[in-house]
């Protein structure tokens, strides 16, 4: 039996969704974040040394990292579903977006979250302008331009096809859900990007996505 070690409000929600799309039986073991630090609890280190989510266990196998989990589940249990055939242009797109999600999309979103917290941190009044100034400069000079470039790029890609890997929904769309939900919640990705907005509405309306929300419990992007 597959067990999803599910940290609340985290990337592991994608894993539940993938399992629902594949129609696989699984169990959910829930973990709550520390209310002060919002970090994962130490109990997760018993499953994987880094103590982070998502992690799944499948009998005696433990798999961590969202992309690795997606590939493991699709390759092991997918029977050709949710993955374009090898050697096709769609498969190349599929592999690209699986890696783009965490390799390119998430870093500037994470940086934005960090520098937003730096900007609002409680610091002595005499250094507050310096801290805020540094945060503003990093955001303006690096984070915002990178986010804008990514939004424009992803919007143009979805203008050419309905799903990230082609004309068919795939696990690449599941993998891309977290950064785009984070972008909508944290980074002002709004109706200026109608293709991305429509894509989010379509994934949220999928029955498997809705079932995963029921299994995982309340879900929101942390800010």
Sort residue 94 into left (φ over 0), alpha (ψ -120 to 50) or beta: alpha
pLDDT at 180 over 70: yes
Q: Are residues 101 and 198 in the same domain?
A: yes
User: How many Å separate Cα 184 from the centre of its chain?
Assistant: 12
176 part of a folded domain: yes
Expressed as residue numbers, the domain containing 141 is: 89-206
pLDDT at 139 over 60: yes
Give the pLDDT mean for 126-136.
79
Give the pLDDT mean for 53-74.
95
177 part of a folded domain: yes
Confidence at residue 223, expressed as pLDDT on a 0 to 100 scale: 44
pTM: 0.91
- Output the domain CATH number for residue 8: 3.40.30.10
- Output the domain CATH number for residue 159: 1.20.1050.10
pLDDT in tens, 185-202: 877 787 789 999 999 999
Spatial distance between the Cα atoms of 162 and 196, rounded to a whole number of angstroms: 10
Q: Are residues 28 and 108 in the same domain?
A: no
Q: Are residues 69 and 109 in the same domain?
A: no
């Amino acid at each position: 039996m597959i067990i999803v070690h599910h940290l609340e409000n985290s990337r592991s929600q994608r894993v539940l969704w993938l399992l629902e799309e594949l129609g696989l039986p699984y169990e959910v073991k829930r973990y709550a974040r520390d209310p002060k630090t919002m970090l994962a609890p130490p109990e997760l280190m018993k499953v994987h040394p880094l103590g982070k989510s998502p992690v799944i266990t499948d009998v005696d196998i433990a798999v961590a990292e969202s992309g690795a989990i997606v590939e493991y589940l699709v390759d092991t249990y997918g029977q050709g579903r949710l993955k374009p055939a090898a050697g096709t242009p769609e498969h190349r797109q599929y592999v690209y977006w699986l890696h783009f999600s965490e390799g390119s999309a998430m870093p500037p979103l994470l940086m934005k979250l960090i520098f937003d917290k730096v900007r609002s941190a409680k610091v002595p009044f005499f250094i507050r302008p310096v801290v805020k100034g540094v945060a503003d400069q990093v955001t303006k000079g690096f984070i915002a331009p990178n986010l804008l470039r990514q939004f424009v790029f992803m919007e143009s890609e979805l203008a050419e096809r309905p799903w990230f890997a082609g004309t068919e929904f795939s696990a690449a769309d599941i993998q891309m859900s977290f950064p785009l939900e984070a972008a909508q919640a944290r980074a002002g990705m709004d109706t200026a990007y109608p293709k991305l907005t429509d894509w989010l509405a379509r994934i949220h309306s999928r029955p498997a996505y809705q079932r995963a929300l029921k299994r995982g419990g309340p879900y929101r992007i942390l800010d």
